[in-house]
Structure 1
Amino acid sequence: MRRWVHSTALRQGAAPDAQAPVALSFRTHPVRATLALLSRSRAGFAAALVAGFLLLYFGLGGILASTIDDNLAFRPSAADLPPGGSVAVAMASAILDREVNEHGWVPDDPWFYPSALADNMPAWQSGIRMGALRFTAALLARQPQDPDLLKANEALEVRPDRWWIGPGWPWLRATSASTYDDAVDAIRAYNARVAKDGTLLTRDAATLSVLLDDLARALGEAGDRLALHLEGGAAGGDGKRLGNDEIFYAVRGQAYVTSLILNGLREDFGPLIRQRQLAARWASMARSLEQVVDLNPLVVTAGRPGSFLIKNHLMEQGFALQRTEEQLRALAAELRRAPVPPAATPRR
């Protein structure tokens, strides 16, 4: 009779009494019940362990390994800035040294590193490398045969994601981080020579105007990459289509190092800037560029223009870049003009 009642209950859709404690345990203790269920199958338990490990390794590990240092008050150390050297040149070597040797260069990390799935910090550091490269290229354009600038420029032209093993020949090569470390040494050596011989980097209006034009051109090209991305084209250096956050942080990193270099140029050419009465215009230009660096949303979005719900951070970034470029070009043009002689004091 008892067996007949139990079978009848099963036919009517009722759960057997043995299943009730299990169902109840899932409602009251979901974690404990899940572990108990997994322990019944070795394969399921092993798969859960692997999934948990990968989640912690690439998820939490990637977060811990990601550092975006956007300190605009950053100053070069004595190793980068010898007495009489250029503050702007010291900024270039110091920021590279900080990213490579203090924070660790992430773009060249292989697929099994915790940072393999991160994209913001690699893009940020790639932008920093681009900003330093464009500045050393501007210096090299004025001194094409300088051995230290040649070494630095050649090292910084190496892709930021090169690991020590690669598919092409030679398949063993120096990593991007190691190559950029060589660039730091070369830039420091150049600045040491500048400290001893001021003619290497003359503090005149012609030199400053050329450097400002080159930096403006570099920011303009960054703005062009943003526009190409918004139009749906490939904005990566290798023709790869980047994500919104990748192109955003790459441009932001370039703007950051450019802002530091411009702060250095303001110190290097301080007497000239005051003599030409350009301090206020320089400060306005610096604020425009700092707006690019300060724009740091939690999630980078590229909504339709005028959208009330979804902002377009890339367009905001591009507008601030364009304004900075125009201000830099205006300062360079003003420096190329002949200085106005002071008015003669009338005799009494």
Structure 2
Amino acid sequence: MLDPIVNFFVRVFQWIGRGIGLLVGVILWPFLWVGRWYAGKGWILRAIVGALIFAFVAFYAYFIWQTQHWANFNPDYSVERAKEKVLAGEPVPAGTGDASASATGGATSPATNVCNRSEIVDVTADLIDFNVNQNAWIPSMLASKLGFFGIAWNHTPFLDNKAAFQLGINQVLRRTTTELVDTLGRARGTSQIDQNLQEARTGLAWDENAWYIGWRGPTRPTPSVYREAERKLRAFNTSLEKCQSTFDARADNLMQFLDRISGDMGSTSDILRARMEASNAGWFDLRADDRFWFAYGQLYAYYGILRGTRADFSAIIQERNLTTLWTRMEEQLRTALNMQPGLISNGNESSALFPSHLANMGFHLLRARSQAIEIRSVLDR
């Protein structure tokens, strides 16, 4: 009685085994053919081909290593920056520890030529350093541009998370340098634009995917241009420390900066929403991971930028009794950075098997955005 059933399952497993064997054969056939061809050639040709194969393997091995090694990744990178102090660009009072010590007795003398550095500028420069010096800039690497057999990496489930994370950070840096040039780095927006800030903004506007050769011929690769932008930002802060530059730490400038940040967060949450509506394939959505890590990169950068903003505008934040609200906004951003899933799922929000990491990220973005808007409304009263 059971023999027909047993025979049926035996045949099914035989078919499965044959199918797997056929698939493996198809995959291995080109390699076997190349191996036979290679064995039949002379040693000179074999040496040349072997060197090319070794170079190809080393080329992609280096790329894979760089995409998987996130050097100095630390969500608490800005934890030491939230200090209560005078406004950025204002003279440092005597006796604060920033003034120069006198030659006798170590007593401090009035710091008539020492002004406060901008923490916003320092964080921005540090994030550029993190992106292009401490780590390789993935979007402009040749292997990244070549893709996976011609398919862009962000259309595959492989090797695109770090690039998306870096681009999210860079989006914030571009926004921040624009605000530094247009409002924060000039007196009431009517004085002359600071040349260091202008060149930093121009540098960060450079094509994120540029290599040594582009469609129009030789060009500067993205990392070298961004390194120049970092040097210009540090030069501005050095000039500011000598009271030779301007940082206009006024309440209306803070309001405008928060407006720009909340608008940026709202735009990214809309990108997440669009992806959630386009697919609910769960673990099998190949575009969900780059959307998630782009948003994560934004939050990672804004966490440091907003802590720097708290230091630069500390007197205004204290005067308007915004300390509690600001602390709550920072805590919300830091909580969002705890979400680091190994595999991104874009499932239906009510699914028990396929979580929606994009919905979780969108929630954190909108929470931080709403708190920024609340702070802005208090400043506007």
Report the TM-score, using the length of structure 2 for normalisation: 0.66
Residue 291 of structure 1: which of 335, 339, 361 is its match?
Answer: 335
Query: How far apart are the structure 1 equivalents of 2:124 and 2:366?
Result: 23
Report SS of the residue matched to 1:216: helix
Which position in structure 1 is the counterpart of 2:136? 104
Report SS of the residue matched to 1:203: coil
Residue 123 of structure 2: which of 91, 97, 108 is its match?
Answer: 91
Report SS of the residue matched to 1:295: coil
8 Å CA contact retained: 2:236, 2:245? no
Give, in angstroms, the shift of residue 306 of structure 1.
0.9
Report SS of the residue matched to 1:200: coil
Instruction: Say whether residues 1:311 and 2:355 are aligned partners.
Output: yes
The 5 Å alignment of 1:18-33 reads none
Query: How far apart are the structure 2 equivalents of 1:190 and 1:323?
Result: 33
Task: Note the alpha carbon deviations across 1:288-338, whole angstroms, 9 max, x for none.
Answer: 22233221101011001211011111111011101111110110121122x
8 Å CA contact retained: 2:139, 2:145? no
Give, in angstroms, the shift of residue 243 of structure 1.
1.5
Gaps of 5+ in 1: 1-33, 234-240, 338-348
Give, in angstroms, the shift of residue 146 of structure 1.
2.6
8 Å CA contact retained: 2:194, 2:245? no
The 5 Å alignment of 1:93-172 reads 93-111=125-143, 118-142=159-183, 143=186, 145-167=193-215, 169=216, 171-172=217-218
Report SS of the residue matched to 1:192: helix
Percent of pairs with identical residues: 25
Query: How far apart are the structure 2 equivalents of 1:210 and 1:242?
Result: 37
Which position in structure 1 is the counterpart of 2:266? 220
- CA RMSD in angstroms comes to 3.6
Which position in structure 2 is the counterpart of 1:343? none
Question: May I ask how many residue pairs the two structures share in their alignment?
Answer: 289
Give, in angstroms, the shift of residue 148 of structure 1.
2.0
Query: How far apart are the structure 2 equivalents of 1:303 and 1:160?
Result: 30
Highest CA radius of gyration, 1 or 2? Answer: 1
Which position in structure 2 is the counterpart of 1:300? 344
Report SS of the residue matched to 1:201: coil
Instruction: Say whether residues 1:72 and 2:71 are aligned partners.
Output: no
8 Å CA contact retained: 2:164, 2:290? yes
8 Å CA contact retained: 2:203, 2:226? yes
Report the TM-score, using the length of structure 1 for normalisation: 0.72
The 5 Å alignment of 1:52-63 reads 58=60, 62-63=64-65
8 Å CA contact retained: 2:115, 2:243? no
Which position in structure 1 is the counterpart of 2:316? 272
The 5 Å alignment of 1:239-254 reads 243-254=287-298
Amino acid at match of 2:69: T
8 Å CA contact retained: 1:139, 1:211? no
Query: How far apart are the structure 2 equivalents of 1:309 and 1:335?
Result: 44
8 Å CA contact retained: 1:120, 1:246? yes
Report SS of the residue matched to 1:310: coil
Distance 1:153 1:324, change over 3 A: same
Gaps of 5+ in 2: 1-27, 40-45, 82-113, 154-158, 280-284
8 Å CA contact retained: 1:162, 1:175? yes
The 5 Å alignment of 1:251-262 reads 251-262=295-306
Instruction: Say whether residues 1:195 and 2:227 are aligned partners.
Output: no
Query: How far apart are the structure 2 equivalents of 1:56 and 1:186?
Result: 35
Comparing 315-324 and 148-157, the one that deviates more: 148-157
Query: How far apart are the structure 2 equivalents of 1:53 and 1:243?
Result: 30
